[in-house]
Structure 1
């Protein structure tokens, strides 16, 4: 697996500049864990517990992914579920189970096939193994098809997304002001085209506390004049600490902010994390904000779903090579929570998706001086099972795993004690 993950070595060490251990440790542990899951499957099959074996590997890996989702540098980003982002019927399962139900089904299919091959010539047992798997897979896909066929919402909002990759990070006051003026002009252009919200990327530059008023004076008048809400990401440095911050400009209202909660090590290890949600004021619909890495984790996205938002704004900064993989992770949060996503990423994509995960518009950010996208976004909030019960499925998988391990212990006990009992 280390050889197969050399692409991740390039990404983690050479692109993200993380230490070699950031690649070596997880990609050494993962194959050992998977091998352990396969051995659990094999042991159960040899003990005659083929149905338990079919469930054991999916349950084991689902629990592993759930535990890994608490890692600060990872979250859910390593989940197998993200391989299904383009397969919308399967993706809808996330509205019930989060990514973990998708992982479970992805591994249950090969587990059942393998068990059925082992049972060659035993048609009855083969059916007992294959039928539950096919029923679960068919049920998930049928649910997805029905959910996708639900009528769309008539309520809509026009969102403009805006980015320039010409200035990746403005690290001084003069450059930051010049960049703000450029964003002001482009934001005003999108507002004239009907954008009710204009979203700019994460961490456009360094904003010193002493410069905040003059920076706000560049963008706030656009909001006041056009009636459009503007959102831009900055690295806000105060005398005490620094924040990865989204500044929100609402017509005729004071500037409000949202601070990123999940910070990316090692780049943001010295920043102060946020802890609060942010809902845009004065809009006719509830709209929230999260920043980039926040979307790799269950929270705050789940909290926004429970708050009933219909659109989540995601200013971000991707790293070019991960624009498709990491840029689309946010889409799953929208399916889980029942809301649309607007994602603006430096070195990535401008992407808008609906609450079913359909991509409504997407533009690369490396085309021209400013990249922009306007999308008319259908708005609704279906309270999902995942909204209501959160991370319930990994705990169910944990129960399955414990039951399978107990079954294995009893099976092994029977095997080892058999010669003794026969004497």
Structure 2
């Protein structure tokens, strides 16, 4: 045909049909992924959360967020695939979609929870032995793992103890062991700060001696806890300490104020309370190893409280009225009653024991006496603080 002539008729192409939906196999694979993540998370919880070989906090929560995110992503993919299939096939059952949505809503939070349970708590309350270790405003304690390195000390006789009582004694002494261990770097911080402030050698020496005493306390408590557990228990690494924590303000008065107020709460109040509370357990303790640990704790914690008062006196002497004012403000913030000695779950387990006599025989404190002891030591601290600060406040 000549160029420019009539063109032959061409049959138009048929309109494009609906796009083929993605294969339902993708949704099935996504659902299987969610179930596998959930099972893996549960297995991790059993392996690390139900024993003392806990994961570090950073590792546990990284896995928790990762597992939760993977479940959520898999669920979204599966729901999108099933919705597209349902639009393409009006008769498609809604059951698969409903099951997928339920899996998405359940597996993500559960996987997160299971991995979160593999970590050790780092919290610390007012109570238990030892000076708190503070990183910023947060008090931290080490995680626990199976280890012989810190379980060094006399061991109790566990003959005749039932399973529930042994488990409670294990966790009660482990609670104390973690706090005693945290007190070691806490006193290292105190010694560092005292040197920075040009404190007398006696204060620095006593701070270092306190470190050694806290090591002894921690070893004794871990040995007791290990005996009740039937396996040696020790501590994990403490990554929270990598960044330090002994820094002081550059301004000298502010630095003296910080050291004085920390000594007031963590030493003069808390360690004095610890010593007095531990002393109440001496009346009922029968096990020789537990008694020996308690006697040592009472003596040393009392000495630590005296050191704290001497540190306060040093700071008041060097810092004057601003330090006094800060001490009075901080003391006014102290609650009139102690915070629970133990975590809520442990406190409930102890309260549920039908016979608590074996606890007292193995050196544990009757928590019903904590309030009266705290009130008495708070009154003593108020009087002692007034004796230190009133003359200077009057002169100002």
The structure in which a higher percent of residues are strand is 1
Higher helix residue share = 2
Shared fold (TM-score greater than 0.5)?
A: no
TM-score of Structure 1 vs Structure 2, range by shorter chain: under 0.3
TM norm structure 1: 0.23
Q: TM-score, normalised by structure 2?
A: 0.24
